[in-house]
A and B are shown apart, each in its own frame.
Chain A
Amino acid sequence: MEKGVRRWVVDVSKWDPSPHDFCSVLSLLPQHQRSFVTRFVRMEDRKRALVSQLLQYALVHEVLGIPFDEITINRTLEGKPYLGNDNAGLEFPNFNFNVSHHGDYVAIASEPLCLVGLDIVSYDIPPKETVLEFIQNFSSYFSSLEWDNIVNAGSCDGILAEFYRYWCLKEAYVKAIGSGLAYGLDKVEFLHTRWTNISVKINGEDTREWRFWLFELGKGHWASIARGHPRSATESYRKTLQGSEFNLEEYHKGLHLPNVDFVSRTIEELISVLHGEAYKIPGDERNT
């Protein structure tokens, strides 16, 4: 089952495609997926969205071995992508993935049984407000405990860093369950020991069904991973899962799978995975 646990990240800052190159990479994607890229107004956002799509197809292809042109990726009403294909057998009882893109990085995470959520934040200093003014906008999303931890973190740098870490985790949780809404996040309280052993209390209850990790990606970017129980998924996302009920033993197996570090992938690698497939170049080494 461990093979279903993946964490891939791409640094897009080094990718500077000409409009022509961008178009040809975009054309690797199935027609109906391209609008998810082109809907973005800014080129930087389009770039990130394109890489996000590449990651999804490459991951499904590599991990599940489904031929590229047979991969079906759909979205829930809230916009969360999921695999439409019939799942890859019992090895992965509930294969699901999540993507995030922000700043220089686009990343994907997958899990074979538990829900997975992923969010990337970057340590951006608010351009037009003080740190305190900035975080004040978001105070209602935090529990009293979390808020105290944030504002008592010492320097403004410290406060901002604490803020972003908590926010990143909350986002990963929201994205794991597929709700797309930041509803009642003050009731989703994160507990941790110096940002390890991160768990969550939901409405005051520590169910021990969720685990979280924070990673420093570099260049002031962090990524959070949420891993939790499929039955916590919102209705529209739960419908896309193979299963949402597991016995305690099964579930704990999934929950306690090793968490892996992020693996850097390059855009060239992803393109060659898909390019080889898309064009089915005979005798091409990459197909094997």
Chain B
Amino acid sequence: MAATAGASPLISMHSRPSHSFQHGLATLRVSGLKPVSLSFYGRSSLSFRMRPLPVRLQVSCAAKPETVEKVCNIVKKQLALPDDSTVTGESKFAALGADSLDTVEIVMGLEEEFGISVEEESAQSIATVQDAADLIEKLIEKK
């Protein structure tokens, strides 16, 4: 487990609402959920070679470390990464081995965990854990 002060509670991947199944298979399609688009090629050509900044030096518009950590946990679970693997804000989903199915599930997991809805256009710009955390906080603020 990541050993940070004030660590967030473990995210359970089993906590999916089952409302969609109340009426049987015919209504499995949940209307209103917009398709999520993400880059499946990892956008490596846009990577910046920055050394990771210590948390306290991050710019003020970046997400809180707790949010970043929650995202890291969701990602680690989805990709079945060992607990001691290094997943940080700079980690790119693609580089962690996320394929198209993983990426959709990660975003769905984030939507559920944070109670938000991610629009296609915004999802397109998510390449790293930090991107996701920043977007999450922006969406939470809007609520």
Question: Which A residues contact B (CB, under 8 angstroms)?
Answer: 35-36, 39-42, 44-45, 75, 77-80, 102, 127-129, 132-133, 135-141, 144, 147, 151-152, 167, 171, 174-175, 180-186
Q: Does B45 contact A (CB under 8 A)?
A: yes
Shortest CB distance A52–B (Å): 12
A183 touches B120 (CB 8 A): yes
| In the complex, per-residue mask of B27-63: 1 if CB is within 8 Å of any chain A CB, else 0 | 0111001111111111111110000000000000000
Give the number of chain B interface residues (Cβ < 8 Å): 42
Docked CA distance A44–B42 (Å): 17
Contacts of B104 in A (CB 8 A): 137-138, 141, 182
Question: In the complex, which residues of chain A have a beta carbon less than 8 angstroms from the beta carbon of B41?
Answer: 75, 78-80, 180
Question: How close is B90's CB to chain A, nearest CB, in angstroms?
Answer: 11
Q: With a CB–CB cut-off of 8 A, which chain A residues contact B105?
A: 137
Task: Find out whether the CB atom of A45 lies under 8 angstroms from the CB atom of B97.
Answer: yes
Given the contacts A40-B97, A102-B99, A132-B28, A78 and B43 also touching, CB distance less than 8 Å? yes
Q: Which of B80, B86, B120 has the most CB of A within 10 A?
A: B120
Supply 17 A–B pairs (Cβ within 8 Å), ascending by A.
A39-B47, A42-B96, A44-B97, A45-B97, A75-B41, A102-B99, A132-B25, A136-B20, A140-B35, A144-B29, A151-B28, A167-B100, A181-B38, A181-B39, A182-B35, A182-B40, A183-B37
> Which B residue's beta carbon lies closest to that of A183?
B37
The complex places the Cα of A116 from the Cα of B96 at a distance, in Å, of 26
State whether B30 touches A139 (Cβ < 8 A): yes
| B92 interfacial by beta-carbon distance below 8 Å | yes
Tell me, in angstroms, the Cα distance from A122 to B135 when the chains sit together: 31
Report the Cα distance A85→B33, complex, angstroms.
Answer: 43
**Are A174 and B40 in contact (CB-based, < 8 A)?**
yes
B28 engages A147 (CB within 8 Å):
yes
Contact B85 A41 (CB under 8 A): yes
* Contact (Cβ within 8 A) B16 A79: no
A174 to B14, CA, bound (A): 31
Interface residues of B (CB under 8 A from A): 13-14, 16, 20-21, 25-26, 28-30, 33-47, 80-81, 85-86, 91-92, 95-97, 99-101, 104-105, 108, 120, 124
Beta-carbon nearest neighbor of B20 in chain A: A136
Closest Cβ–Cβ distance, residue B102 to chain A (whole Å): 10
Complexed CA–CA distance, A79 and B46 (Å)? 9
A233 to chain B, nearest CB (A): 14
Give B127 Cβ to nearest chain A Cβ, in Å: 10
Whether A129 touches B16, Cβ cut-off 8 Å, given contacts A79-B43, A102-B99, is yes
Give every chain B residue within 8 A of A140 (Cβ-Cβ).
29-30, 33-36
Given the complex, which residues of B lie within 8 Å of A78, measured CB to CB?
A: 39, 41, 43
A171 in contact with B20 (CB, 8 Å)? no
Distance between B101 CB and nearest chain A CB, rounded to angstroms: 7
B35 and A42 within 8 A (CB)? no
Residue of A nearest to B108 (CB): A137
Chain A residues whose C-beta falls within 8 Å of the C-beta of B46 in the assembled complex: 77
